[in-house]
Amino acid sequence: MIGEVLRFILFHYCIFIQHRGMGGEFDNMIVVKNMSVSYNGVKAVKRVDIMVGRGEIHGLLGLNGAGKTTTIKCLVGLLKPDYVEELKVFGINVLSSIEYRDFIGYLPEYPSLPDYLTPREFLTYLAKIRHVKTKLKERIDYMLSLFGLDEVGDKIIVELSKGLKQRIALATVFLHEPRIVILDEPFIGLDPEGQMLVKRLLSEIINSGGAALISSHMLDTVERLCGKITIIHKGRTITSGSVKELKNGKTLEEAFFSIIGHA
Amino acid sequence: MRKIITILAFKLAQYYGPLRYSNYSKLLQVLLYFLMVTTSLFTAALTRLLLVQNENYILAVVVLSISIILLLGIYLGVKGGVMSLQSEIDFILVSNVKPRNYLLADLIFQLILLNSILTPSLLVFILIISRTTITNLINTIAMFELTILAAVMLSHVIGLRKSLENDRKVNYVAAALAIVFLFPVFLMAVDAVEFVDYTPLPQVILAKNMMGRGVVFDNLAVVVFFLCLLVIYYKTVNHLSSLVVVTPLLKTALVEVGGVKIVKIPSLLSIRVDESVLISGIKLHVIRIIRDRSILMVSLVALIFLMANMAFSNLMGDSGFSDLAVVTSTILYTAFIPAVLSINWGLFERDNLWVFQVVRDGIRRYAVSLMGSYFIVALLFSFILYVIAYIISGGTPFLVLDSLLAAAIPVFSSLSSVFFSFKLPRPGNVFSVSTLLHILMPMIVSVIFAFPVLVVRTSATLASEPPIPLVILLMAYLIGTAYVVYRRVIGVVVSSV
């Protein structure tokens, strides 16, 4: 137990020193360089490059099957790439260490939740394994209230609506105050109030020096929310840059199809 | 007719889909059949050897086999009766297919499916135990097929009636039928085996015909039983105007969860902020096991095992094996508990692993608490079953060794169940090969690991007064092996997800 605590402190101290020394390099909170991934025997990702800077909300766009979800799964450690030159989250190599997971919040495209637990039970357990030590009960109450779940906090999840389940899944993302959030289609099934809340929480993260990577099909939302965008097509990054640059005077939809068309 | 064949082909293609393209699935299927046939042969030969030539006992065992098939039909009926897959629910059940066409296709499908499971196990067992002659072979097989047909029809009738009428009323009828089918087992349990022969119940008559002991009355009774069943079946299907009301079976787990309400849990199980992550994790798994009603399934099977325990204890009373029958049955049952829990885990919980995968050390903590919860539930039932079985049978427990066994089997079955939960393909439905392997493998593994204790337990001289060094040696073996297996399982689980 003591060994574990010492190891934890030492690790975070090393990260702190390493990041201080790295200066500008660590401004890239997420780095993916030349990554290829096979999924179920099919080459889902052929060559993907993504850079997400500190204080940035980065949009990941692409048609169905472009490789967005596969890329995200590699970033959070759910899939292993066949080949990658560099894959770092929070300055930590994803393939050689799992400690970066303390700093990330992740939402999958179709989040599955434990049907037979209540949101309060689930979040409490998750907070414990997420090492949320201080004022755990207050934190859970706050998260339930923040996501409008206080009235259903003690109901079984299976009884709740799709939108409420999405809110629970989102609460798991922000529960441990992550520095980086990686969200795969976060707005599906979420009402305007929920969407507004997510946007506010994302703003708080980037204002505190964090970053966010969001995959979404909602081009208008991406346009309003994200500072930079990476477009993936048929498993390859075909362009990346600020929204303004990519739009080049057009709407994002026109620009997107124009870029995809030329790829 | 063409529509029926089309639906049947669709169902078969969907259900046996993995066999068409996966060599691994084919291998699993072959392995499973091999296990089923050899187990049946071994059990039948052993039972025949122990029961010697007592025809009443043999009849009672065949009746028990038929009761199992009919009870399976009732169980399927209570769970919904119609074996629909998700794709059928989405595309066929909402189409303009006539209900009777779909149901007929489903009836044939269930006949094929139940035959594929029951023929290599129960038919082989019945043929060996009843020493069926070549002349009686066709008769035995025909009666066996009729029994399966009756089970499928019962399943449909109960399932459809549940959709059409008052759910609770049909459940009561199903429970009453189950008691009727279990009645001969009750006679065996109270040591009144000779009365089984005189009980005019369908399963007894079918068993007598199967063994070639049926008289004209018995043949007539079989015809009347099936005519009644056909009339009820026809009337039920005719009542059905739409398939949408059907509760599909194959999308549910081992225990039906329909109309779930929050179950009040004891305050002992409520999660406390200041307790360790492991304790919280174990509590949460136990809460889920209570709420998803896996615990009901476990309790129900405990009741059946208890009756089987007593029945076999009585059947083998003269051969001096009654004590051993209690132990063996309890061991098998205890190993069965984590296996059943792991199937429901696979159906309800496996998809949620993403939550723990993205947390540092999340999967290890999750798996350890899962093992802990399986162990606690299995241990509890194991001791309860031992105590009740000994009180009823009046046997003398060998306290030290029985306690060791009662603790060892839950440990190894919990460890192996978690291992196979993560390593085996997810159970697609209650009858998939994977489901059966989820049940069989932990039972085999736990018996293998606890074998040294079992061997000592079977020796009456050693078991009555075990030398202290032997007990210490056995305990050291169990603790050491459990630790090694635990480390290995955790290593594999963490690296496999």
Say if residue B258's pLDDT is above 50. Answer: no
Task: Quote the CA–CA distance of A187 and A199 in Å, as a whole number.
Answer: 10
Say if residue B297's pLDDT is above 70. Answer: yes
Say if residue B164's pLDDT is above 60. Answer: yes
- Interface membership of A116 toward B (CB under 8 Å): yes
- Interface membership of A158 toward B (CB under 8 Å): yes
**How close B263 comes to chain A (CA, Å)?**
9
Q: How confident is the model at residue B10 (pLDDT cuts 50, 70, 90)?
A: confident
Q: What pLDDT, on a 0 to 100 scale, did the predictor assign at position A24?
A: 42
**Inter-CA distances, B52 with A199, B121, B207, B326, Å:** 77, 22, 19, 20
Give the residue-averaged pLDDT of B142-156: 91
Q: What pLDDT, on a 0 to 100 scale, did the predictor assign at position B313?
A: 67
- Give the CA angle between residues B294, B295, B300 to the nearest 5°: 100
Question: Which chain B positions have a beta carbon within 8 Å of A117's beta carbon?
Answer: 284, 287-288, 291
Q: How confident is the model at residue B331 (pLDDT cuts 50, 70, 90)?
A: confident
Give the residue-averaged pLDDT of B443-457: 87
**Nearest of B362, B284, B371, B497 to residue A131 by alpha carbon:** B362
Question: Which chain B positions have a beta carbon within 8 Å of A111's beta carbon?
Answer: 354
**Inter-CA distances, B32 with B27, B35, B83, B438, Å:** 8, 5, 22, 11
Q: What pLDDT, on a 0 to 100 scale, did the predictor assign at position B29?
A: 75
CB contact under 8 A, B360 and A136: no
Rounded to 5 degrees, φ, ψ at A105 are -120, 135
Q: Mean pLDDT across chain B, nearest whole number?
A: 81
Q: Mean pLDDT across chain A, nearest whole number?
A: 86
Say if residue B335's pLDDT is above 90. Answer: no
Q: Which of A201-210, B80-89, B429-438 has the highest mean pLDDT?
A: A201-210
Q: At what angle do helices B451-458 and B399-423 cross, to 10 degrees?
A: 150
Q: What pLDDT, on a 0 to 100 scale, did the predictor assign at position B244?
A: 59
CB contact under 8 A, B359 and A159: no
For A56-80+103-262, the fitting CATH number among 3.40.640.10, 3.20.20.140, 3.40.50.300, 1.25.40.80 is 3.40.50.300
Q: Which of the two residues, A26 and B237, has the higher pLDDT score?
A: B237
Question: Which chain B positions have a beta carbon within 8 Å of A124's beta carbon?
Answer: 271, 273, 280
Q: What pLDDT, on a 0 to 100 scale, did the predictor assign at position B247?
A: 62
Say if residue B229's pLDDT is above 80. Answer: yes
Q: How confident is the model at residue A6 (pLDDT cuts 50, 70, 90)?
A: low
Residue of B nearest to A155 (CA): B262
- Give the CA angle between residues A148, A61, A38 to the nearest 5°: 105
**How close B373 comes to chain A (CA, Å)?**
15
A4, A116, A118, A124: best to mutate for the B interface, most B CBs within 10 A:
A116
Question: Which chain B positions have a beta carbon within 8 Å of A76's beta carbon?
Answer: 357-358
CB contact under 8 A, B354 and A112: yes
Q: How confident is the model at residue A83 (pLDDT cuts 50, 70, 90)?
A: very high
Say if residue B374's pLDDT is above 90. Answer: yes
Q: By percentage, how much of chain B surpasses pLDDT 90?
A: 16
Say if residue A211's pLDDT is above 70. Answer: yes
Q: How confident is the model at residue A245 (pLDDT cuts 50, 70, 90)?
A: confident
Going by C-beta distance under 8 Å and a sequence separation of 6 or more, which residues neighbour residue A65? A44
Residue of A nearest to B276 (CA): A128
Q: By percentage, how much of chain B surpasses pLDDT 70?
A: 85
A98-131 residue pLDDT tens? 888 889 999 999 898 888 889 999 999 889 888 8
Range with the poorest average pLDDT among B8-22, B132-146, B326-340, B443-457: B8-22
Among the partner-chain residues B271, B354, B360, the one whose CB lies closest to the CB of A121 is B271
Question: Which chain B positions have a beta carbon within 8 Å of A136's beta carbon?
Answer: 273
Say if residue B138's pLDDT is above 80. Answer: yes
A213-226 residue pLDDT tens? 999 888 888 888 89
Q: What pLDDT, on a 0 to 100 scale, did the predictor assign at position B322?
A: 59
Q: What pLDDT, on a 0 to 100 scale, did the predictor assign at position B257?
A: 44
Edge-to-edge order in the sheet of strand A42-53: A92-93, A86-89, A28-39, A42-53, A236-242, A228-233, A56-61, A211-215, A180-184, A104-107
**Inter-CA distances, B181 with B74, B209, B329, B373, B439, Å:** 10, 17, 21, 34, 24
Q: What pLDDT, on a 0 to 100 scale, did the predictor assign at position B263?
A: 60
A1, A112, A125: best to mutate for the B interface, most B CBs within 10 A:
A125
Q: Which of B192-201, B251-260, B357-366 has the highest mean pLDDT?
A: B357-366
pTM of the model: 0.75
CB contact under 8 A, A129 and B354: no
Say if residue B416's pLDDT is above 90. Answer: yes
- Give the CA angle between residues B346, B487, B481 to the nearest 5°: 105
* Structure-token match 């136990």, residue found: B286
Contact between B381 and B306 (Cβ < 8 Å):
no
Question: Which chain B positions have a beta carbon within 8 Å of A113's beta carbon?
Answer: 352, 355
Among the partner-chain residues A102, A114, A124, the one whose CB lies closest to the CB of B352 is A114
- Interface membership of B273 toward A (CB under 8 Å): yes
**Inter-CA distances, A128 with A100, A181, B350, B443, Å:** 17, 19, 20, 34
Range with the poorest average pLDDT among B89-93, B147-151, B489-493: B89-93
A55-69 residue pLDDT tens? 999 999 999 889 999
Task: Quote the CA–CA distance of B449 and A85 in Å, as a whole number.
Answer: 46
- Interface membership of B296 toward A (CB under 8 Å): no
Task: Quote the CA–CA distance of B253 and B292 in Å, as a whole number.
Answer: 9
3-state SS track over chain A: CHHHHHHHHHHHHHHHHHHHHHHHHHHEEEEEEEEEEEECCEEEEEEEEEEEECCEEEEEECCCCCCHHHHHHHHCCCCCCCECCEEEECCEECCCCCHHHHHEEEECCCCCCCCCCCHHHHHHHHHHHCCCCCCHHHHHHHHHHHCCCCCCCCCCHHHCCHHHHHHHHHHHHHCCCCCEEEEECCCCCCCHHHHHHHHHHHHHHHHCCCEEEEECCCHHHHHHHCCEEEEEECCEEEEEEEHHHHHCCCCHHHHHHHHHHHC
Q: What pLDDT, on a 0 to 100 scale, did the predictor assign at position B267?
A: 79
C-alpha count within 13 angstroms, C-beta hemisphere, residue A72: 31
* Structure-token match 């049955």, residue found: B329
Q: What pLDDT, on a 0 to 100 scale, did the predictor assign at position A87?
A: 93
- Interface membership of B171 toward A (CB under 8 Å): no
A128, A140, A173: best to mutate for the B interface, most B CBs within 10 A:
A128
Token pair recorded at residue B214? 């049926």
Domain assignments of chain B as residue spans, ordered by start? 1-251, 257-497
Say if residue A52's pLDDT is above 90. Answer: yes
Going by C-beta distance under 8 Å and a sequence separation of 6 or more, which residues neighbour residue A100? A89, A90, A92, A94
* Structure-token match 């084919």, residue found: B26
- Interface membership of B360 toward A (CB under 8 Å): yes
Q: What pLDDT, on a 0 to 100 scale, did the predictor assign at position A169?
A: 93
Token pair recorded at residue B66? 């038929």
Say if residue B255's pLDDT is above 60. Answer: no
Q: Count of residues for chain B?
A: 497
* Structure-token match 């022969």, residue found: B197
Contact between B349 and B288 (Cβ < 8 Å):
yes
Q: What pLDDT, on a 0 to 100 scale, did the predictor assign at position A23?
A: 41
CB contact under 8 A, B273 and A136: yes
- Interface membership of B354 toward A (CB under 8 Å): yes
Give the residue-averaged pLDDT of B484-491: 94
B287, B359, B363, B364: best to mutate for the A interface, most A CBs within 10 A:
B359
Q: What pLDDT, on a 0 to 100 scale, did the predictor assign at position B248?
A: 60
**Inter-CA distances, A65 with A68, A77, B487, Å:** 8, 20, 39
Between strands A56-61 and A228-233, the pairing is parallel
